[in-house]
Structure 1
Amino acid sequence: MHSRTLNWLLAFVCHELLVAAYYFQYVEGLQPCPLCIVQRLAVFLIGVFALLLAVTNAKPATLLNRVFNGLGLASAVLGIVAAGRQVWLQSLPKDEVPACGPSLDYMMEVFSTSEVLSELFKGSGACAEVDWTLLGLSMGAWMLVFFSVTALFFLWRLFRK
């Protein structure tokens, strides 16, 4: 498959993942935890960089191609960290799950940016809840798979000739 086609496909998959996230939030009533918000941001960024790669159709050895693939990789790593943390929290016994923290809106009003980021990555008790599964995997686990595959994709593209 042509590189440009893969970029369009990845951008489309990211779009559909965000549509699904908003469907689960607004139709099914599943409220996103702080780590889910970070994962949405990572999916959005991956989609943007895939779209930029598709639109520019930059050749593999060019600086533009390397920059967009590097930023896509960084976004996928951000997603791996957030989804990995969520899967870890979901695997904890109930008595070891951290207490739920303040809402994201409250944190944005009261905390500094660095404190908000720190709290987002810590996760909360809400991040440990498993409200939905497919084939035995939670949303966080499926997102960990997506981010891992996407990171390998961008990594491969960074180092290919």
Structure 2
Amino acid sequence: MSPRAAAWLIAAASFASVVAALVAQHGFGMQPCPWCILQRIVFLLVGLVALLAALGGGLLRRLLGLLIVPLALAGAAAALYQHFVAAKSTSCDLTFADRLIRGLRLDSLLPAVFEVRGSCADAAVDLFGVPFEFWSLALFVLLAAGAVVLVRGAPR
């Protein structure tokens, strides 16, 4: 796969994951916690960076690929934190995710996408027997792996 195609695929997968989360929220009543919203933010950031990489060339694409890797790993860390720590808590109030969302004012700018509507314990939902945040984790790992294609460049 060419680096440009990989960038387009990373962008599409990132944006599609947010669309899927919004369908789950608004269509099926799965209310997001702060850590869910934080993962949405990271998916959108990865998608935007990948979009720039798809539109850019050689060195720029590689540099943007280098940026995607830590973003995707941060998203993976958020998914793991959500599952192993936050979901065991009755309140996500004043956690890093909650403070970041409030600090950026995303919840008031675009509440349909970024407003926290559930607690971390309530957001612990399975999809096909797998915790929702593990689906997110898997996608973040795949996005990081895809970013390696951007960093390595076209095969010679």
- Could you say whether these structures have the same fold, taking a TM-score greater than 0.5 normalized by the shorter chain as the test? yes
Instruction: Quote the Cα distance in structure 2 between the aligned partners of 1:9 and 1:158.
Output: 15
Larger Rg: 1
Please report the RMSD computed on the Cα atoms of aligned residues, expressed in angstroms.
2.7
Bigger RCO of structures 1 and 2 (CA < 8 A, at least 6 apart): 2
How far did residue 137 of structure 1 move? 1.2
Match in the other structure for 1:3: 3
Return 5+ residue gaps in structure 1 as ranges. Answer: 114-124
Q: Does 1:99 align with 2:86?
A: no
C-alpha contact (below 8 Å) 2:65/2:151 kept by paired residues: yes
How far did residue 156 of structure 1 move? 5.0
Aligned-partner residue type, residue 72 of structure 1: I
C-alpha contact (below 8 Å) 1:4/1:54 kept by paired residues: yes
The 1:98–1:77 alpha-carbon spacing in structure 2 relative to 1, beyond 3 Å, is same
So what's the TM-score if we normalise by structure 1? 0.72
So what's the TM-score if we normalise by structure 2? 0.74
How far did residue 159 of structure 1 move? 4.6
How far did residue 9 of structure 1 move? 1.7
Instruction: Quote the Cα distance in structure 1 between the aligned partners of 2:92 and 2:9.
Output: 37
Return 5+ residue gaps in structure 2 as ranges. Answer: 105-117
Match in the other structure for 2:132: 139
Aligned residue-pair number? 136
Q: Does 1:19 align with 2:15?
A: no
